[in-house]
């Protein structure tokens, strides 16, 4: 059926505008709005990163084509010109292509999330019918048309259906379960309607609303689902995103729909894949998992020996899933053990051992090299006796003789490593010192001293430090755990999480520690915004009222609660001195000397926020949390309290109430409570005196 349409629309290509109702549409978002692959993605968009010697976007376009999609809008943000250029030269943009493609690009400043891009698409009013929404880093062999039909069928009985989201079943321990995207889904098993959706990455406990069980006689709770990032959307999805400008991600959208379910009567359904494959390359460990799935042919027919383009010839397949493009030279006694793909004109030296790896085109690999579980892209030169274990090596890297790369490393494009260097586990290297002019100034300044020196004198390599991500939750460091051998971590999953948490703590100490950064990414973004506003406000001596306005607008933009605002504003102020002096404060009185003028300047801001007892308690809690995470600050706490009390920002009652209640963090007892004790006793005495006087 669809083939007829294809040929019809094709033979009259271009000139005739095809009616949208008849055409199967897809929207491909060619950006993941994250920096998981940094520093590799600094110069190349993620959609064009090679996945088993083929740009990632090829897989998603191929998946859509194989499903019979006729028109695809490719929405690109970061490095949009490169994607546009790539597609222009590819077979997809040729007039005879059975699937027509339209590229929409948007600057990264205007579009920072999935939500923004969908709002933009809505603004352009390109789509009027049901469409397939997919991310450009999805690899799937799912036949989407039957699912689209199913969606339309459901629409007949349920007018409020906005989306059918596709999930794949993968039991815990499966390599394609991304640690960042663990989720629990409550569905109605009779019709597949989603009743509740929660991300469980960091949770030990889950709660479900009681109504859910009251309203539905049957509820299935699923922990075995993996989000494929493919959904079938009704056209109403786009205006829904436009109306709710706080929807940033798919998760926001689902939560929003479920909360407003009773008012708007919108529903979301899920489709669970049976026997087909779909996975989403969200981070480096997932890149590893998906590459292996492709090599082991789970993604058939998206396998290297069947896919070819004008530029890349076909791989030939031999025993044990070894794929070779033409022109591969294997020297004597070299071994390609299993699950290996080798690109065009690559030379592999004598006695070199390669297993479970992908090697790109035009690489030169020397003698006695050991490569296991590595992803090596194009034009890489690896000299004799190197050892690479679980790593990602980008284009044009040169590893001189005897370099050893630890587990989980990511080596950015153009890096040159001098002979004999050993790179520790989980290091990310790039070829130039980190730039200062990016959005993440707060953390970069801290790292500058370390980062501007190369790894060694003869190398062109600088350590890349992950900035505090605006768009990720605190758990992003999980993907640094890439490379832990399954056999090694025989502990339970819970231990894994603990490990992740440990890592995270360390990282925070290295960088700027502002206490418990909120889990919620909205609050995190809000915090960064506030910090920026305050810094600017202090440097340019902006009036307090204007700052309050600015902070309030950020509050609405990120949808944070009043309590969070109070706490985060205080934290931001306290961390301001160390941010501005670019070094961690050394303790003693320096802290206070730096802090005092700042607090003095922001008194009006503080007074604006700390109006009632509750807000004061919040701010005290924040103060305490900040102290717990910055031990050197503890000594100043007493002075801060005194100052704020003296300026009538904090009331006596609030301070006493705070002191009377046990702190959240028991470790605070020993240090902070002890330091403030003299101040409290002084306060109590003063109170007694005043009460005596009034008597």
Range 125-164, binding other proteins (CB under 8 A): 141
Q: Which is nearer to other proteins, 12 or 436 (CB)?
A: 12
The token duo for 544 is 């307090």
Range 468-507, binding other proteins (CB under 8 A): 486
Which residue from 55, 100, 97, 98 is spatially nearest to 79, judged by alpha carbons? 55
Q: How far is the CB of 319 from other proteins (least distance, A)?
A: 5
Q: For residues 442 and 531, is the Cβ–Cβ distance under 8 A?
A: yes
Asked if residue 298 binds other proteins (CB under 8 A), the reply is yes
Q: Which is nearer to other proteins, 67 or 472 (CB)?
A: 67
Asked if residue 598 binds other proteins (CB under 8 A), the reply is no
What angle, 0 to 180 degrees and rounded to 10, lies between the N-to-C axes of helices 56-67 and 144-157? 60
Range 322-341, binding other proteins (CB under 8 A): 338-339
Cα–Cα distance measured from residue 432 to residue 419, given in angstroms and rounded to the nearest whole number: 19
Tell me the backbone φ, ψ of residue 6, rounded to 5 degrees.
Answer: -60, -50
Residues binding other proteins: number (CB under 8 A): 49
Q: Which is nearer to other proteins, 273 or 474 (CB)?
A: 273
Query: Which of 317, 421, 455, 668 forms a contact with other proteins (CB under 8 A)?
Result: 317
For residue 39, whether the previous peptide bond is cis, meaning omega lies within 30 degrees of 0, is: yes
Which residue from 676, 328, 256 is spatially nearest to 684, judged by alpha carbons? 676
Q: How far is the CB of 324 from other proteins (least distance, A)?
A: 10
Asked if residue 355 binds other proteins (CB under 8 A), the reply is no
Query: Which of 241, 250, 253, 277 forms a contact with other proteins (CB under 8 A)?
Result: 277
Which stretch in 296-304, 384-392, 558-566, 601-609 sits in contact with other proteins by CB under 8 A? 296-304
Q: How far is the CB of 325 from other proteins (least distance, A)?
A: 12
Cα–Cα distance measured from residue 584 to residue 446, given in angstroms and rounded to the nearest whole number: 8
Q: How many H helices and E strands in the chain? A: 22, 31
Name every residue whose Cβ is closer than 8 Å to that of residue 672 and which is 6 or more positions away in sequence: 624, 627, 628, 634, 637, 663
Asked if residue 10 binds other proteins (CB under 8 A), the reply is yes
Three-state SS string across 241-257, please?
HHHCCCCCCHHHHHHHH
Query: Which of 265, 318, 600, 667 forms a contact with other proteins (CB under 8 A)?
Result: 318
Instruction: Specify the pairing of strand 370-376 against strand 387-393.
Output: parallel
Site string for other proteins, 171-190 (x = CB under 8 A): xxxxx---------------
The residues facing 63 across adjacent strands are none
The token duo for 385 is 């006796």
Q: Which is nearer to other proteins, 174 or 670 (CB)?
A: 174
Q: Is 127 left (phi over 0), alpha (psi -120 to 50) or beta?
A: beta
Q: For residues 504 and 201, is the Cβ–Cβ distance under 8 A?
A: no
Q: Which is nearer to other proteins, 175 or 362 (CB)?
A: 175
Which residue from 203, 202, 200 is spatially nearest to 185, judged by alpha carbons? 200
Asked if residue 669 binds other proteins (CB under 8 A), the reply is no
Asked if residue 7 binds other proteins (CB under 8 A), the reply is yes
Which stretch in 49-57, 149-157, 299-307, 429-437 sits in contact with other proteins by CB under 8 A? 299-307
Q: State the residues that interact with other proteins by CB under 8 A.
A: 3, 6-7, 10-11, 13, 65-66, 68, 94-98, 141, 168-175, 224, 275-277, 289, 292, 296-301, 303, 305-306, 308, 314, 316-321, 338-339, 486
């Amino acid at each position: 059926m669809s083939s007829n349409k294809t040929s019809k629309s094709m033979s009259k290509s271009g000139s005739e505008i095809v009616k949208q109702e008849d055409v199967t549409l897809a929207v491909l978002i060619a950006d993941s709005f994250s920096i998981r692959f940094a520093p590799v993605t600094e110069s190349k968009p993620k959609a064009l990163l090679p996945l088993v010697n083929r740009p990632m976007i090829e897989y998603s376009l191929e998946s859509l084509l194989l499903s019979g999609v006729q028109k695809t809008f490719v929405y690109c943000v970061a490095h949009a010109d490169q994607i546009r250029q790539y597609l222009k030269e590819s077979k997809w943009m040729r007039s005879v292509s059975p699937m027509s493609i339209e590229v929409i690009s948007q600057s990264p400043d205007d579009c920072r999330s999935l939500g923004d891009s969908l709002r933009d698409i809505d603004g352009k009013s390109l789509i009027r019918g049901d469409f397939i929404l997919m991310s450009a880093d999805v690899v799937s062999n799912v036949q989407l048309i039957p699912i689209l039909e199913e969606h339309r069928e459901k629409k007949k009985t349920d007018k409020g259906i906005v989306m059918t989201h596709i999930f794949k079943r993968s039991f815990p321990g499966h390599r394609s379960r991304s640690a960042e995207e663990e989720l629990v889904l409550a569905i109605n098993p009779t019709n597949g309607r989603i009743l509740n959706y929660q991300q469980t990455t960091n949770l030990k406990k889950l709660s479900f609303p009681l109504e859910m069980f009251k309203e539905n006689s049957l509820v299935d709770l699923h922990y075995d689902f993996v989000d494929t990032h493919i959904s079938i959307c009704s056209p109403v999805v786009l205006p829904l995103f436009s109306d709710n400008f706080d929807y940033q991600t798919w998760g926001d959208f689902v939560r929003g729909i479920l909360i407003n379910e009773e008012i708007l009567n919108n529903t979301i359904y899920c489709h669970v894949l049976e026997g087909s494959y779909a996975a989403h390359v969200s981070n480096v460990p997932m890149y590893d998992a998906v590459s292996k799935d492709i090599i082991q042919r789970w993604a058939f027919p998206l396998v290297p020996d069947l896919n070819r383009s004008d530029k890349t010839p076909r791989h030939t397949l031999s025993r044990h899933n070894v794929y070779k493009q033409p022109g591969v030279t294997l020297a004597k006694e070299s071994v390609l053990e299993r699950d290996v793909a080798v690109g065009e004109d690559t030379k592999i030296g004598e006695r070199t051992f390669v297993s479970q790896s992908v090697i790109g085109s035009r690489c030169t690999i020397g003698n006695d090299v050991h490569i296991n579980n590595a992803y090596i892209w194009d034009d890489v030169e690896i000299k004799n006796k190197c050892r690479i274990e679980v790593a990602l090596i980008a284009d044009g890297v040169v590893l001189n003789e005897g370099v050893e790369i630890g587990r989980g490393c990511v080596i950015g494009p153009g890096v040159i490593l001098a002979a004999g260097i050993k790179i520790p586990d989980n290091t990310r290297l790039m070829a130039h010192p980190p730039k200062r002019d990016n959005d993440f100034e707060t953390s970069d300044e801290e790292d500058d001293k370390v980062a501007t020196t190369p790894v060694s004198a003869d190398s062109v390599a600088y350590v890349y430090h992950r900035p505090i991500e605006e768009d990720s939750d605190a758990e992003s460091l999980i993907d640094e755990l890439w490379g832990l051998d399954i056999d090694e971590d025989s502990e339970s999953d819970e231990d894994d999480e603990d490990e992740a948490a440990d890592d995270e703590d360390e990282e925070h100490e290295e960088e700027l520690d502002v206490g418990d950064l909120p889990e919620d990414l909205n609050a995190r973004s809000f915090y960064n915004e506030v910090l920026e506003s305050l810094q600017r406000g202090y440097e340019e001596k902006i009036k307090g009222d204007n700052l309050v306005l600015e902070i309030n607008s950020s509050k609405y933009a990120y949808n944070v609660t009043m309590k969070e605002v109070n706490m985060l504003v205080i934290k931001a102020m306290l961390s301001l001195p160390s941010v501005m002096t670019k070094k961690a404060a050394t303790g003693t009185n320096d802290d206070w000397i730096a802090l005092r003028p700042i607090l003095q300047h922001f008194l009006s801001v503080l007074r604006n926020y700390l109006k009632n007892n509750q807000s004061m308690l919040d701010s005290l809690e924040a103060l305490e949390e900040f102290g717990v995470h910055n031990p050197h600050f503890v000594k100043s706490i007493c002075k801060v309290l005194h100052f704020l009390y003296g300026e009538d920002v904090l009331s006596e009652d609030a301070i006493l109430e705070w002191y009377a209640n046990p702190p959240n963090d028991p470790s605070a007892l020993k240090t902070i409570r002890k330091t403030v004790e003299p101040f409290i006793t002084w306060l109590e005495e003063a109170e007694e005196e005043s009460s005596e006087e009034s008597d």
